[in-house]
Amino acid sequence: MPPAIAEPSPTPDQSAAGMRDMRLRSIVATILEAPTIRRHKLSNTEIAHQGFVLVRVLLENGVTGIGEASTLGGPRWAEESVESIQAVIEKYLAPALADQNAMMFEANAVRMSKAATRNFAAKAAVESALFDAVGRTLDLPASALLGGQVRDRIGVIWALASGDSGQELEEAREKLRLRQHKDFKIKLGFNTPDADVRRLQHLRAGLGDDVRLIVDVNQAWTEALCLRLFPALEELGVALIEQPVPASQRDAMARVASRTRIPLLIDEAAFTNTELASVASQACGSVYSLKLVKSGGLLELKRAAGIAQAFGIELYGGCLLESSIGAAAHMAVFSTLPKLEWGSEHFGPRILVDDLVAAPLVFEEFEIHVPSGPGLGMILDEDKVRFMARKAGSQ
C-alpha span between 327 and 181 (Å, rounded) = 16
Alpha-helix residue ranges (DSSP H) falling in the chain: 16-21, 82-88, 94-97, 105-115, 120-138, 165-177, 193-207, 223-235, 250-257, 273-281, 292-295, 298-310, 324-334, 348-351, 382-388
Choosing from 41, 185, 187, 291, the catalytic residue is 187
SS3 at position 230: helix
SS3 at position 291: coil
SS3 at position 156: strand
Residues 6+ apart with CB under 8 A from 12: none
Spatial CA neighbour of 130 closest among 271, 24, 16, 286: 24
Q: Is 322 a catalytic residue?
A: no
Residues 6+ apart with CB under 8 A from 111: 5, 96, 97, 100
C-alpha span between 67 and 285 (Å, rounded) = 31
Choosing from 185, 345, 367, 384, the catalytic residue is 345
Pairing of strands 64-71, 46-59: antiparallel
What kind and span of H or E run contains 183? strand 183-187
Q: Is 187 a catalytic residue?
A: yes
Spatial CA neighbour of 199 closest among 188, 214, 208, 209: 188
The DSSP annotation for 33-76 comes to EEEEEEEEE-SS-EEEEEEEEEEEEEETTS-EEEEEEEESTTTT
Q: Is 321 within 8 Å of 145 (Cβ atoms)?
A: no
Q: Please provide residue 191's backbone torsions phi and psi, each rounded to the nearest 5 degrees.
A: -110, 180
Q: How many CB atoms lie within 10 A of CB 246?
A: 17
Terminal CA-to-CA distance of the chain, rounded, Å? Answer: 44
Active site amino acids = 187, 345
